[in-house]
Amino acid sequence: MQNKVVVITGGSSGIGRACAEIFGKAGAKIVITGRNEQNLQEVTLQLNQLGISCLPIIADVANENDCANVISDTIHHFGKIDVLINNAGISMRALFEECELSVIRKVMETNFFGMVYMTKSALPHIIQSQGSVVGISSIAGYRGLPARTGYSASKFAMNGFLEALRTELLPKNVHVLIAAPGFTASNIRKTALAKDGSQQGESPREEEKMMSAEEVAEHILKAVRKRKKELILTSQGKLTIWLNKWLPKNWIDKLVFNALKKEPNSPFQ
């Protein structure tokens, strides 16, 4: 990673912020994006204090022009791009029958189209560097989760897009990684959208028992170095995918339903 240029969307919190530090400590020059200028500046200051070169760029990945500007600013500042980590994302928690369609649309625009816009703008430079495109997916991209229809759809779409892209780019030696961290301690559940588009406010899960964002970032760094195609984290995540593949669908449907029914303030209660 020495002197590699790494662009991380949603880099001011959670997994994105952890990746900025972990990749930066490994020698990379970092570009972080986000919608909150103050948060970006705070993270940049902390990275600079660690001796990490960081360029913060205010951008909403759901805006195609913002994504193009991120890439042009990165090239102007650093001259190249070696790794793009599509991390920016939002979640949702509501039954589909009660959910406003604007919530589904917003999740798709950020999680899926935001990745598409960033990857489209960055790809010529990544092809030139024979670098990496990383998508921070989810176990919900392998197994649909009730009350997360929009989120699951966005991650399934991401997985299919990146798998197809990886195959297209075989002759050009570009690395494409689908990373599914499983449940990770972050603020994504606190900012998840409710049925009316408002933020959920509190996590329905015990965050302290989850894998830390820093540990996830370490795994992602190793996967990028080894140019792995897929990364699935946490024993729960691996088990869920395995069970979904091999158990009869009516069994796994009931298992998943009953597990999520136990969440605090579950919409199934």
Q: Please state the domain extents for the chain.
A: 5-235
According to the model, what pLDDT value does residue 50 have? 97
CA 200/CA 2 separation, integer angstroms:
40
Enumerate the H helices of 226-268 as residue ranges: 235-246, 249-261
The residue-averaged pLDDT of 101-116 equals: 97
Residue pointed to by tokens 């302290």: 208
* Model confidence pLDDT, tens digit, residues 70-87: 999 999 999 999 999 999
248: exposed, middle or buried (Cβ count in 10 Å: 0-12, 13-18, 19+): exposed
State percent of the chain over pLDDT 90. 82
According to the model, what pLDDT value does residue 242 have? 93
pTM here? 0.92
The residue-averaged pLDDT of 97-107 equals: 96
Residue pointed to by tokens 């991650």: 155
Q: Structurally, what CATH architecture does the domain formed by 5-235 represent?
A: 3-Layer(aba) Sandwich (3.40)
Mean confidence (pLDDT) of the chain: 92
Q: Report, as residue numbers or ranges, the catalytic residues.
A: 151
Query: Within a 10 A sphere around the Cβ of 76, how many other Cβ atoms?
Result: 9
Q: Check whether 8 has a pLDDT greater than 60.
A: yes
36 pLDDT tier (thresholds 50, 70, 90): very high
Calculate helix-pair angle for 235-246, 249-261, nearest 10 degrees: 150
Q: Which residues, other chains included, contact 93 with Cβ-Cβ below 8 Å and sequence gap of 6+?
A: 147, 148, 189, 192, 193, 194, 200, 204, 267
CA 197/CA 208 separation, integer angstroms:
26
The residue-averaged pLDDT of 141-160 equals: 96
CA proximity to 186, closest of 213, 221, 152, 206: 213
Q: How many helices (H) and strands (E) does the chain have?
A: 9, 9
Query: What is the amino acid identity at position 194?
Result: A
